[in-house]
Amino acid sequence: MLGTIVNALAIFTGSLGGYLITRLLKKGIPERINDIIMKGLALCVLLIGISGALEYKQILLVIISIVIGGIIGEVIDIDKQIQRLGDKLEKGLKGKAGKVSQGFVTASLVYCIGAMAVMGSLESGLNGNHEILFAKSIIDGMTAVVFTTTLGIGVAFSAITVFLYQGTITIGAIYLKDLLTVAVVSDMSAIGGLLIIGIALNMMGLTKIKVANLLPAVFIPIVYQIILNVF
């Protein structure tokens, strides 16, 4: 869990840094600068997503996973549940309308979905190797500074989401060791990459994809592997 703890602390610290920057700039960061920063970050997120999506081993499994995962996520409506949590945080902090919720949801999805989050947590749980998560911590910490200056203090609360998500994968990896083959992990990373592309498109304002409702798709390859082992 060391890697996950460091990752969560890096995000929280980076968010505080971003918050202090916005406080020092009394009038705040000009809207046009905020906009170009967000568009630039969206392009970076898009690049991360594309690189992860190309990791697939079985393209048909990836497609089926997205379909099944989307159905499950839509029935549960994960997106709505996360939005509600963000809104509660916002009310507690008496923040500006939508700011806390938007920052929390966007940052949580960006930091949790992707190859580094999945692979790093698996390495941490299976081999006690935290190098990937340490590298992710540096990246997340720096982006948290920028995210907070544009999306607000809600970004800081994504550290909790990261801790719970990556911590669960780390602990679960110990018990799922026999199921996590190279193919399974690669397909999980590919699905995560596709979801990150969705986040990037949302950040650019081109789409309104409920990416959170596709989250179950990431774990469908594990279910597939269990079925193969049984039959």
CA-closest candidate to residue 78, choices 211, 223, 203, 222: 211
H or E element that contains 132: helix 131-151
Q: Are 132 and 116 in contact (CB under 8 A)?
A: yes
pLDDT given at position 23 = 81
Greatest distance between any 2 Cα atoms in the chain: 64
* 230: amino acid identity, one letter: V
Range(s) of the domain holding residue 95? 2-230
CA-closest candidate to residue 130, choices 89, 173, 92, 101: 173
pLDDT given at position 223 = 92
Q: Are 184 and 222 in contact (CB under 8 A)?
A: yes
CA distance 159 to 63: 30
Quote the radius of gyration of the chain (alpha carbons, Å).
17
Q: Are 181 and 226 in contact (CB under 8 A)?
A: no
Q: Are 122 and 176 in contact (CB under 8 A)?
A: no
Give the total number of structural domains in the chain: 1
By residue count, the chain amounts to 231
Q: Are 221 and 179 in contact (CB under 8 A)?
A: no
Question: What's the pTM?
Answer: 0.74
CA distance 2 to 110: 21
Mean pLDDT by 10 residues, the chain (231 residues): 92 90 72 78 82 88 95 90 72 59 81 76 82 86 84 87 90 81 86 86 86 88 89 79
H or E element that contains 87: helix 78-93
CA distance 19 to 23: 6
pLDDT given at position 231 = 79
CA distance 158 to 34: 20
